[in-house]
Structure 1
Amino acid sequence: MSSSEMSDCNNNGGNKKLFEGQALLYKHLFSFFTPICLKLAVKLGIPTIIHNHGKSITLSELISALHLPPSKACFVPRLMRFLAHNGLFAIVRIHHDDNGEQEAEEKEGYVLTSASELLVEGSENCLSAMVKFIVQPTLVDGWIRMDEWIYGEEVSVFGTACGVSWWDLVANNSEQMNIFNEGMASDSQMMSLALRDCNSVFEGIETIVDVGGGNGATGKIISEAYPELQYIVFDLPSVVANLQGIRNLSYVGGDMFKSIPEANAVLLKWVLHNWNDDYCKKILKNCKECILRKGKGGKIIIIEVVINEGQDKYDTTQVKLEFDMTMMAMFSAKERTEKEWKQLFTGSGFNNYKIFPLFGFRSLIELYVI
């Protein structure tokens, strides 16, 4: 090819845009590999191996620690390269010093990033249970059935894929219930990091009921941080049946759509996004009634996503919109903008509220009951 012909190729601006579009399209088409490879890394224990190694780890050291069949060991460098490219590990250059002389050739090694640090088993804020919950066949098989759901009668994508609602599935499948509860508990550890330092949130509260509190992961940390606070974990009887209270924490089984134990305050962490507006209004009205029964007024503490595309960073908005699509697919529910939250609150009989963007991609909202 002559230089003039090569110049023509390089200056073909129209085709360049098409090829850029193709690259973007393929990037999204193959993006499903990221969570799948992430789950594999968790199952292999790679974050924990690197953490326990105590320093950057070479590929040969990592492969040796994994004890894989020889035919599969060659896959590890490509897996790590892919995950590092996506920010889940970091590549570093390792300088070996032997008898005061640096080796002629540097080695490549891997260290944890802020994301993979959250996948170290046994650590206080480990989110590996959330990875296992989200990246499982039961859910993934549902996501790819959206094209069937959009033309069908089922309320949710999950109902189209499995024939039952998500709540019916976990109620009748102890394995799925455990996977779900463990995933939610791991997330609660992260939320508790912020909540236990929010003195103003719990100031003046004598009793709080954690609606949908699961196995009490959030409750245990908050009740320890505030020993004068009477903390009630409220969830379905099947969830709390075998759980034992400790000190100022107790468990109560029931149905939040019927009645909620009386308290000065109610905590709703990641609850309302599971339900449409009509169900949310029932929950909020029952929360208000439980506070009024106590007789002193109080507040509802809500931890949820507030979509704000105009002000949030790109990655933050991306996470929020992905959760919105997830809520739509699983529960025919949604994440909400501030305008949508206001409409929900006023429709439930609340006039006073404040939003505090304290928790990364989620916010703390206080609804006041006078």
Structure 2
Amino acid sequence: MSTSETISTELLHAQAQICNYIFNFVRSSAVRCVLQLGIPDVLYKHEKPMCLSDLSAELSVVNSSKISFLPILMRFLVQSGFLNQHEDHYFLTPASRLLVKNEPFNVRSFLLFTNIQACSKAWHELSDWFQNDSPTPFHTAHGKSLWDYMGEEKPRVLGDLKGSGNLDFIGGDMFDKIPHANAILLKSVLHDWNDENCVRILKKCKESIPSRAKGGKVIIIDIVLENPKERNEFVRAQHNMDMLMMVLCGAKERTEKEWEKLFIEAGFNEYKIFPVLGLRSLIEIYP
């Protein structure tokens, strides 16, 4: 291949790459549409591949003229790896199963939340946020924090829930007090907060657990950032979450060194990291 042909090929690939960047929003929008139409639930209920005519007959598409556009949506989802196709029949992938209502580990709520208008508007303020004094892009978009916005949208009902067996629900503010326990679990909590607030939370945890000799520890399930130069689904998901935390909360995901700094500032003496949960790790810290 000549030099000019090589340059032309590189240019064409670069154009395709930029095109895919421009239309990245299409994938999340299409997946949200599929969830709201109920496609994953219909495929799951039938427990076998379905042809488009049978599938469309069970969907909440009121206007029959819209049915002719379903092949476009289905083609896109197959190409994106969200659905599988064999001849003219479609079936779920492991990823699309995570949007089924009856799937115990489903992420439906998370997908719908990140695609609501309030969150989308925050992304449009990202460049302005870098040039203003607002604490977060979300605050730039709405004049309030994500937490204040959510508090206004839905009542705080945790304290009214009733436990059973060895499970109790206790309403309160983790910045004021955390109930005493031998071990405290923080699952995807600390990445919502800046370093100062993380240290405050961890100090409250330390006050509420016994010494290490008596079994005291804090268990954290959260992301430990890997090298962004790595090209795999886990690392890509980690850095997507890193961007999300910045935009919505003015917070971040953290490298091991950044985690270690928090632990030391909060008064913990030792930690162990177990990278056993895909994009997340299990971290144990000891007083």
So what's the TM-score if we normalise by structure 1? 0.73
SS of corresponding position for 2:94: coil
Unaligned ranges ≥5, structure 2: none
SS of corresponding position for 2:184: strand
Residue 27 of structure 2 corresponds to: 34
Q: Deviations over 1:270-295 (max 9, x none)?
A: 11101111111111111011114999
Is residue 52 of structure 1 aligned with residue 32 of structure 2? no
Residue 68 of structure 2 corresponds to: 74
Q: CA RMSD in A?
A: 2.1
Pairing partner for 1:320 from 193, 213, 238: 238
1-side partners of 2:97 and 2:72: how far apart? 20
Check conservation: 2:221, 2:282, Cα contact below 8 A: yes
1-side partners of 2:108 and 2:170: how far apart? 28
Check conservation: 2:212, 2:286, Cα contact below 8 A: no
Post-superposition offset of 1:12: 2.7
Distance 1:287 1:311, change over 3 A: farther
Q: Superposition pairs for residues 227-266 of structure 1, below 5 Å?
A: 238-266=156-184
Identical-pair percentage: 40
2-side partners of 1:334 and 1:137: how far apart? 22
Higher Rg of the two aligned structures: 1
Residue 118 of structure 2 corresponds to: 138
Q: Point out which structure has higher relative CO (alpha carbons under 8 A, 6+ apart).
A: 2
Is residue 25 of structure 1 aligned with residue 18 of structure 2? yes
Residue 168 of structure 1 corresponds to: 148
Post-superposition offset of 1:11: 5.3
Which residue identity lines up with residue 334 of structure 1 in the other structure? K
Is residue 148 of structure 1 aligned with residue 133 of structure 2? no
Residue 99 of structure 1 corresponds to: none
Residue 78 of structure 2 corresponds to: 84
Check conservation: 2:159, 2:172, Cα contact below 8 A: no
Post-superposition offset of 1:310: 7.2
Which residue identity lines up with residue 20 of structure 1 in the other structure? H
1-side partners of 2:165 and 2:4: how far apart? 73
1-side partners of 2:37 and 2:263: how far apart? 45
Unaligned ranges ≥5, structure 1: 1-6, 94-107, 178-237
Check conservation: 2:228, 2:239, Cα contact below 8 A: no
Post-superposition offset of 1:297: 4.7
Check conservation: 2:223, 2:254, Cα contact below 8 A: yes
Post-superposition offset of 1:239: 3.6
Write 1 or 2 for the structure with the bigger share of strand: 1
Q: Superposition pairs for residues 123-134 of structure 1, below 5 Å?
A: 123-134=103-114
Which residue identity lines up with residue 274 of structure 2 in the other structure? F
- Aligned length, in residue pairs: 286
SS of corresponding position for 1:130: helix
Check conservation: 1:262, 1:294, Cα contact below 8 A: no
Which residue identity lines up with residue 40 of structure 1 in the other structure? C
2-side partners of 1:322 and 1:311: how far apart? 14
